[in-house]
Structures are given as structure tokens and as C-alpha cells.
């Protein structure tokens, strides 16, 4: 019988798993090397979508994740961390337009909501964009997409769980797992505290492979850095996620915008002492691209730069649920954690307590050949 579950990691996955376990009546301790939302979850674009995600099982899991966010936000008074404003996307050249057409056709074939807008129609949604930055037509609109505010979501999930009896242990890293006879018996922490465990859920994000190794498992990962630029408040109207050719952006609260490009991710540098910095010229380029699209942003400055490490399993797909060789050890690790966490976290929590969710999770098991081949 599972009585005490240890959840490792207090990001979006750890918080969602903890809340789902507590709702089911389990005794839960969630541990983190830092503060809740202090890792990747605090430095993510947090776009909720299933836009062009393949294979079909992965697409469907993300769609279910979007629905779970929608339901949770509707069920919780003042659950305003979830924003379903839609997503606009367009391309700058012929090659990009061909790829965008393929993506739209693919999601429509899956039954996903998407439509084509003209420049005039797009400006009705986002009137503060510079019309000269938009093509005349072929602007893709995905109306059910949006974003979450991860720290606020994590705060809600953890506070609800703690109110129902869960224990939160912050700033205390996992240093070891006691494994005997194919079972994890306990988790050891930096503080020398030993937590007896009936089940363990690895929600450690970029450090998931390290935790897996403590259990004697090899989890291939190909993590990448993500760099986000936060603007100071600007008196402009932005209501949705925007994927323009030269900048991606969304609202970030209090009139701020959060901006990103794929190029700026490569501008993050790590010093010999482990300190991470970002080339200021790359930051300037991102903010200038934002100002070109939204001229009202010209009076705004860079308020902050966030660098996160994206946890990406070796084959790109999530690793979720129980491990055959270690049945009381479970994974909840993926890219797209912002979209998947509430739904996938609930499935993983159920399996940690003995439920069988093989129909939903079969494609994402730790034992899949494609993961091991990486």
C-alpha cells in the first residue's frame, strides 16, 4: 500500500503531481533544491499549445493538457494565471510560408482549431501592431492557445496541497536514493534528513537525469538553454501570443511584455565559475524587433533577462509514469511542461498510487526503444 510519496522538484510538474496526489488522499512530501518555481518554471515562455506537435499521441496529450488548464482555471475562483487569448503566427519568406501552410493543414487534419486571417483581420485582434510588419494575408490564428503564469499556478497548487496536509521542503537538495530489492526505500537530503518512501516521483526537470542516476537508471537528456527578455511596462495593447518572423512575445503582467527569439538562446554564456550571462547586443536586437512590431514599445526598456534550462528527453518526447524495473519510481519530465503539467501530472500521480493509465501514457514510458537509442 502506498502511504508516503516523495515528489522531487517543485516546478509546474512537481506542484501538479503533489496537488493530484494530495487530492487522492496520499501523504506527500515535495522537496526542491531551491525555491518553488525557482528553476525552469520561473524562466519559461509558458505557451500552452499543441501547434504542430507530433506524433499524434503527443499532440493529443497536449490538447488534453490545454483542456485541463481550462477546467482548473474555471473551477478555481480567481484562477487568473491562465490566459487563452490565442496565438498569431506568420512567415517572412516563401520557405517559411510553405512550412506554415503544412503546419496549419496538419493541425486541421487532427481537428485542432486554426484559421487564416488577413492583415485587416489580424489588426482587429492586435490593433497596436505596425501594419507594415504584417503580410497582406496568410496569418495563422490558433484561437485556443495561450499562456500561463507559472509561478502563480505553482503557488495555487502547492498552497492547496499544503493546506490538505502535504509537506514542502525547499532549499534542500536530494543527495541519494536508497534502493533495495528493486524498490526505492528512502530519499536522502543535503540536510541529512532521510525520508522513507513508498513511492518517488522524479519531477526534477533539467536535473531529472541526475535523480534517475541515483536510482540506477540512465535517462538520456538533451537540455537546452532558453533566454527571455522582459520589458518595462508599456502603454500598448497586447492580448495574445505572437510568433512574428523576428520576435516571439506575449503579455507578462503589469503592462510588460516577454520577448524571445531562437537566436538569443545561443547568446547565453557560462563562465568558469558557473555564472550565466547574455550578450547585451543580442538582448538589444530582441527588444528592437519587438519595437518594430509594436511601435508603442519604443518608450519601454529592458527590465530583466531570464535564462532557463529546458528539460528535453533524448527523443524529444515526455517521459511519464512508472518504471518497469523499479515499480515505485515514476517520471514526470518533458519539454512543454507548461502545457502538459496539470493533465500529465494527474496521470502520473494516479499511477504512483496504483492506477493504470497505460492507454494515455504507453507512448511516453521510460522503456521505449526510441529513448534508449539516443
Q: Tell me the pTM.
A: 0.97
Q: Look at residue 334 and tell me whether its pLDDT is greater than 60.
A: yes
Residue in 349, 265, 251 with CA at minimum distance from that of residue 300: 251
Q: Which residues of 222-261 are buried (b: 16+ CB within 10 A; e: fewer)?
A: ebebbbbbbbeebebebebbbbbbebbbbbbeeebbbbbb
Q: Give me the sign of the Cα torsion angle 10, 14, 19, 24.
A: negative
Q: Are 221 and 334 in contact (CB under 8 A)?
A: no
Q: Look at residue 21 and tell me whether its pLDDT is greater than 70.
A: yes
Condensed to tens digits (0 to 9), the pLDDT of residues 69-121 reads: 999 999 998 888 999 999 999 999 999 999 999 999 999 999 999 999 999 99
Tell me the three cell numbers of residue 4: 508516503
Domains of the chain with bracketed CATH? 4-64+150-220+314-372 (3.50.50.60), 84-145+223-310 (3.30.9.10)
Condensed to tens digits (0 to 9), the pLDDT of residues 188-199 reads: 999 999 999 999
Condensed to tens digits (0 to 9), the pLDDT of residues 221-247 reads: 999 999 999 999 999 999 999 999 999
Condensed to tens digits (0 to 9), the pLDDT of residues 201-210 reads: 999 999 999 9
Could you give the 3-state DSSP secondary structure of residue 51? coil
What pLDDT does 77 receive?
86
Tell me the three cell numbers of residue 155: 503557488
CB-CB neighbours of 271 under 10 Å: 8
Q: Are 16 and 150 in contact (CB under 8 A)?
A: no
Residue in 342, 331, 335, 316 with CA at minimum distance from that of residue 66: 342
Mean pLDDT computed over 113-131 = 98
The dihedral over CA atoms of 129, 133, 136, 138, expressed in degrees to the nearest 10, equals -90
Residue with cell 540506477: 216
Alpha-carbon Rg for the chain in angstroms: 21
Q: How far, in Å, CA of 212 to CA of 312, rounded?
A: 14
Q: To 5 degrees, how large is the angle CA 109–CA 245–CA 256? A: 105
Mean pLDDT computed over 351-366 = 97
Q: Which residues of 121-136 are buried (b: 16+ CB within 10 A; e: fewer)?
A: ebbebbebbeeebbee
What pLDDT does 372 receive?
75
What pLDDT does 265 receive?
93
User: pLDDT grade, residue 308 (50/70/90)?
Assistant: very high
- 316 CB-contact burial (10 Å; exposed 0-12 / middle 13-18 / buried 19+): middle
Q: Look at residue 374 and tell me whether its pLDDT is greater than 80.
A: no
What is the chain's mean pLDDT, rounded?
96
Q: How far, in Å, CA of 16 to CA of 37, rounded?
A: 12
Could you give the 3-state DSSP secondary structure of residue 162? helix
Distance of CA 242 to the CA centre of its chain: 17
Condensed to tens digits (0 to 9), the pLDDT of residues 27-83 reads: 999 999 999 999 999 899 999 999 999 999 999 999 999 999 999 999 998 888 999
What pLDDT does 373 receive?
63
What DSSP character marks residue 132?
A: G
Which residues are CB-contacts of 13 (< 8 A; sequence separation ≥ 6)?
A: 203, 205, 332, 333, 334, 337, 341, 344, 345
Amino acid at each position: 500500500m502506498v502511504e508516503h510519496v516523495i515528489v522531487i522538484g517543485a516546478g509546474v510538474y512537481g506542484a501538479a503531481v503533489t496537488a493530484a496526489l494530495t487530492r487522492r488522499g496520499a501523504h506527500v512530501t515535495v522537496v526542491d533544491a531551491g525555491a518553488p518555481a525557482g528553476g525552469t518554471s520561473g524562466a519559461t515562455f509558458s505557451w500552452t499549445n499543441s501547434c504542430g506537435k507530433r506524433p499524434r499521441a503527443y499532440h493529443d496529450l497536449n490538447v488534453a493538457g490545454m483542456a485541463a488548464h481550462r477546467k482548473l482555471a474555471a473551477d478555481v475562483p480567481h484562477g487568473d494565471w491562465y490566459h487563452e487569448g490565442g496565438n498569431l503566427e506568420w512567415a517572412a519568406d516563401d520557405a517559411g510560408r510553405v512550412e506554415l501552410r503544412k503546419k496549419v493543414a496538419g493541425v486541421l487534419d487532427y481537428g485542432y482549431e486554426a484559421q487564416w486571417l488577413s492583415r485587416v483581420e489580424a489588426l482587429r485582434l492586435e490593433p497596436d501592431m505596425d501594419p507594415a510588419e504584417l503580410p497582406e494575408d496568410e496569418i495563422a490564428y490558433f484561437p485556443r492557445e495561450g499562456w500561463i503564469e507559472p509561478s502563480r499556478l505553482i503557488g495555487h497548487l502547492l498552497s492547496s496541497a499544503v493546506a490538505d496536509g502535504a509537506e514542502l521542503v525547499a532549499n534542500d537538495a536530494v543527495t541519494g536514493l536508497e534502493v533495495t530489492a528493486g524498490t526505492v526505500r528512502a530519499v536522502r537530503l543535503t540536510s541529512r534528513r532521510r525520508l522513507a518512501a513508498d513511492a518517488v516521483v522524479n519531477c526534477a526537470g533539467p536535473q531529472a537525469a541526475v535523480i534517475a542516476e541515483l536510482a540506477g537508471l540512465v535517462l538520456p537528456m538533451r537540455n537546452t538553454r532558453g533566454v527571455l527578455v522582459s520589458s518595462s511596462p508599456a502603454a500598448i495593447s497586447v492580448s495574445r501570443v505572437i510568433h512574428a518572423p523576428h520576435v516571439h512575445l506575449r503579455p507578462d503582467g503589469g503592462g510588460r511584455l516577454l520577448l524571445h527569439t531562437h537566436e538569443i538562446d545561443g547568446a547565453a554564456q557560462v563562465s568558469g565559475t558557473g555564472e550565466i550571462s547574455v550578450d547585451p547586443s543580442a538582448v538589444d536586437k530582441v527588444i528592437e524587433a519587438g519595437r518594430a512590431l509594436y511601435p508603442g514599445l519604443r518608450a519601454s526598456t529592458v527590465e530583466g533577462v531570464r535564462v532557463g534550462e529546458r528539460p528535453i528527453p533524448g527523443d524529444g518526447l515526455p517521459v511519464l509514469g512508472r518504471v518497469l524495473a523499479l515499480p515505485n519510481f515514476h517520471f514526470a519530465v518533458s519539454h512543454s511542461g507548461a502545457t502538459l503539467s496539470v493533465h500529465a501530472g494527474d496521470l502520473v500521480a494516479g499511477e504512483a498510487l496504483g492506477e493504470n493509465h497505460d492507454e494515455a501514457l504507453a507512448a511516453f514510458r521510460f522503456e521505449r526503444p526510441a529513448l534508449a537509442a539516443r
